[in-house]
Structure 1
């Protein structure tokens, strides 16, 4: 692979793909780093599709004629962004125009440091890539808005373009090049001068890259067999993080592992937006950020957003189209699937939400309620589906909707030692590297395991639900049935069972009963 050139791959594309997909070879391709890659080098890039641009057209073949010797050389235009010639050479383009699709990619938003460290040990030094991006910002102020972009050029004959979707994470191998694009200062009426940007001509793309821990010795079978034990350890850690509140720890565990399944007709079964409320005001300064820090050590992708009047009125949460540059401008809520979003309302004070603040409020509501974000195209909006797990931390009842809420009830002995209490949980995890790896993979895969509701248990659930409706018709709705079904499924999966039984169903009812009593 080290000797591959664009010309070689054009003539042997199927063989090149076969070699790349041979186990172990994909990881051998060097990761794209600013100071290491030379034009024409085979590189690998992993990122999120942030924008999809209009098709680009190129000549399949072109000839270069030396005006002094009349010598003619024929070249292929594929896997190249620019035609380079000398002063005494003329270029003649052919009539065989071909189409390629440029997509703008950025480093995966919310990717946590431990993931970058794991990928670095596997040769994917994303931290160094981001540092090089930052270095380029300092050197070239015109690059500040899109300094972290990598353009990936898709060739439809090699890659299924139907798989291209905004916010999708892609793992690309291709040839490094420079793409010359207009800078995008939207305050200018006309585009500014062109600048060079990173560019990768894709040979092959993995549209659903494996989780970062897939290369470890831990198989799904291993995690499944140890699920019950891992659940106990994780609940112990979360109870410590929640200052001794074991009931809230159950629901936080469900929030971390939950996943959407079988989305249809505007219904989003499986979502588990959690509001932990009643966090004492006197512990807020130390507590919520430390809780998030621990969560970020467990999940691959997460984002933290403090809900304040100033943040709501001034932060660009919603992606929007700039027609001056014909580009989609990134927003905070443009996230890839399986990202965990933590909203911290504990420092929210009274104030007025302006128009932008109201739009941001609605955008967050849409994610929680419908798992959608309305992207702003100025004259209209387009709904884009999301798969973002939302946890809201608040003093009182949340400003936002939720699927489940629970009043926070910490152990009084822990309140005075927040740093020590959460620190001990972090220290425990750091000292148990094997356990920490298992917990991380458990969170990633456990809720996606196969599951079955047999006819017998469905009949029991139906009878219980009918009895609940008769006993309290005003307060029991179909939403309650959905919540019970989701929680019972999560209880089963978290303990390593792929079928619901009566014992688990009763556990679900008991858990919900305890929560409702506390919330009164």
Structure 2
């Protein structure tokens, strides 16, 4: 029976922490990571808790930083024993029933980043079959299920986390597995008692492609850490020093700069007092606020009720000097009142400054030195392929790693978060598992047939043979059009290899027009069924009027749930997108449809995808080869437009041709083509100085051009892009005279077809 390597079979969080350097070196020296269980190929309930696992996928979103106790002191009330424990690689504090955490001394705080990773969008079936075959570990089924926390029979009773208490409640959150709607918006169904706690599976998984099975995973990476002083005063001083006021500019009511710290403090004191004193009616709390001032004669007697009252009296949306609005503070309830000194919901230095000036000697136990919530701007990155190795955390989450797990503890009630955000950010671990990453590796490709350290010479030597197999199959599928097959091969091996200003060098959007849909209405789907057996990742999008007016192509920020809702164009590198424009019927495009068409055009021209953050949009680089199938010239832009010239004999027997192509493409030939398409993209192409023939030919073309048919620099650029792909497809890593002549002839024939093509049939 297959067993894991002895070094990683029983690695626990504590063992990894004590031997982190040695174990990480051994991990990186592993020639085959398949020795470590892959979540994508193994059911989560078979994976033991606190064990080493892997996850492959794409970064979909990045959450706010999460603060936790990297190390903390626990006190045993029975034995009076004091221990130092670690919170690294854990979601819950590893403490016993009779142990308590000391929050005043020996605390080391740290930060970790939560990455939302999803299984690779558009991954084709042949890749999944090979991946599951190589990584499915049958022996895990015989292991006892340790994903549940230890019960009373184990002899050791662990305290429950906040989320565990919630799961045990009768009104616990359920996941609706029946709803298969592709809509990822939050839909909460109410119970009989009026509570809302049922959400769709699609909403929690947040997968870009509709009607496609997927997996999601929360990957937590350690960030910076800092030692927390034993003195509460020193802790507050250290937090304030992280946000020095000298970096900010403050002015008084007359617009004069304030340089002295006391003047700045007095300025903020007066400002906060002015927004606390108001006459607004607070509708959501049903409280009519009246003027509220601090009694200077009774400075040390400010109570928690008075703080709550002050927060409720703040003017709605008048907190203009920070990212936190006053209604958010008012809605925060007890946690805001308790955590104002810690700065959990706004700039820490600013709140410490204000509270020192206005609330004076508020006791530390009243403030609470906890950081359960910290709203910081999230970091967004373009989608990347990744493979993460880390510690499997199957239990529920306690963000603060707190030992005081009591249901009525207001300190762990995240009132500052909306119900939608709490549900979205805390999905069931059985649906969205958590991994504490010890190593994250960026993947150059996702082809299981291609080794990491491939031999460039072997790849180039075998390229021409693989190309001949592919050319023969594509020529038949393109109804006997060899020129179109040549261009399609160039498209399949294309990728963006460099970006210069606004140019994405290497992109090769191909528009195949004159598609025989009148005789074969499903021609586009039949062609795609063969193409997806060649490439690793792909997606077919029928450009029907309904799809264009309803589908969400661009990712969009959901501020209610505080996450990035995925869109279809949030795809990883080298995902082939096939747009079937032959499905477009007569009708009207609404505003969503017009926006979707514009997004597709922007993707094709610039290889960028706009992410919609509601108040602004941000572009992210991408690398998505786009193939457009149309009857006439596409309404979308393209780099190369090739009108098909079907052979009459091939048109008559196309269904038989498809069946014969399937028979011809045996597993061995298919694997050769699949490896070829990936390996060629990894070959580094170089341009030598011995290309004088290019310059001479361009001068000649310019001399023979006319006003009706001018030759521009864009024509040269297009020809050089084609020549690069023609050379690579034939096994050459540099341009030679033969490939240059082939490229010129291909372009000449294509341009002749463009001149002689008939009118559009759309």
CA contact (8 A) 1:51 1:166 kept: no
Partner of 1:18: 25
Report the structure number with the largest CA radius of gyration. 2
Residues in 1 aligned to 2:200 and 2:95: alpha-carbon distance in whole angstroms: 28
Structure 1, gaps ≥5 residues long: 126-134, 183-187
User: Is residue 2:93 matched to residue 1:83?
Assistant: yes
Q: Per the alignment, do residues 309 and 181 of structure 1 end up closer, same or farther by CA in structure 2, a change over 3 Å counting?
A: farther
Q: Could you list the per-position Cα deviations for residues 25-79 of structure 1 after superposition, in whole angstroms to 9, with x for gaps in the alignment?
A: 4220011232212321211100100001111111111233333333334320000
TM-score (norm 2): 0.62
Residues in 2 aligned to 1:255 and 1:488: alpha-carbon distance in whole angstroms: 12
Deviation of 1:169 (Å): 0.8
Partner of 2:385: 169
CA contact (8 A) 2:456 2:683 kept: no
Q: Per the alignment, do residues 90 and 23 of structure 1 end up closer, same or farther by CA in structure 2, a change over 3 Å counting?
A: closer
Find the residue that maps to 1:464 and give its secondary structure: helix
Deviation of 1:456 (Å): 3.5
Residues in 2 aligned to 1:274 and 1:347: alpha-carbon distance in whole angstroms: 18
Q: How does 1:11-50 map to 2 (within 5 A)?
A: 11-32=18-39, 33-50=43-60
Q: How does 1:310-389 map to 2 (within 5 A)?
A: 310-389=546-625
Q: Could you list the per-position Cα deviations for residues 454-506 of structure 1 after superposition, in whole angstroms to 9, with x for gaps in the alignment?
A: 3332x222222222223224432211111110111111111112222222211
Partner of 1:399: 635
Deviation of 1:236 (Å): 0.5
Q: Please give the root-mean-square deviation of Cα atoms over the aligned residues, in Å.
A: 2.5
Q: Per the alignment, do residues 165 and 221 of structure 1 end up closer, same or farther by CA in structure 2, a change over 3 Å counting?
A: farther
Q: How does 1:40-119 map to 2 (within 5 A)?
A: 40-83=50-93, 85-93=95-103, 94-119=106-131
User: Is residue 2:729 matched to residue 1:512?
Assistant: no
Partner of 1:132: none
Q: Could you list the per-position Cα deviations for residues 225-279 of structure 1 after superposition, in whole angstroms to 9, with x for gaps in the alignment?
A: 1111111111011112212111100000000001211212011111100000011
Q: Per the alignment, do residues 142 and 48 of structure 1 end up closer, same or farther by CA in structure 2, a change over 3 Å counting?
A: same
TM-score (norm 1): 0.90
Partner of 1:461: 694
User: Is residue 2:295 matched to residue 1:295?
Assistant: no
User: Is residue 2:435 matched to residue 1:435?
Assistant: no
Q: Could you list the per-position Cα deviations for residues 329-371 of structure 1 after superposition, in whole angstroms to 9, with x for gaps in the alignment?
A: 0000000001100000111112211111111111111110000
Match of 1:496 among 709, 731, 734: 731
Find the residue that maps to 1:247 and give its secondary structure: helix
Q: Could you list the per-position Cα deviations for residues 177-206 of structure 1 after superposition, in whole angstroms to 9, with x for gaps in the alignment?
A: 146499xxxxx8754544333111001111
Q: Could you list the per-position Cα deviations for residues 378-426 of structure 1 after superposition, in whole angstroms to 9, with x for gaps in the alignment?
A: 0100000000100000011101100001111222222233332122212
Partner of 2:411: none
Q: Per the alignment, do residues 68 and 217 of structure 1 end up closer, same or farther by CA in structure 2, a change over 3 Å counting?
A: closer
Partner of 2:435: 200
Residues in 2 aligned to 1:283 and 1:481: alpha-carbon distance in whole angstroms: 38
Residues in 2 aligned to 1:59 and 1:181: alpha-carbon distance in whole angstroms: 11
Deviation of 1:220 (Å): 4.1
Q: How does 1:210-221 map to 2 (within 5 A)?
A: 210=445, 211-215=447-451, 219-221=455-457
Higher normalized strand content (fraction of residues): 1
Deviation of 1:324 (Å): 1.2
Size of the alignment, in residue pairs?
A: 499
Q: Per the alignment, do residues 383 and 9 of structure 1 end up closer, same or farther by CA in structure 2, a change over 3 Å counting?
A: same
Residues in 2 aligned to 1:317 and 1:67: alpha-carbon distance in whole angstroms: 57
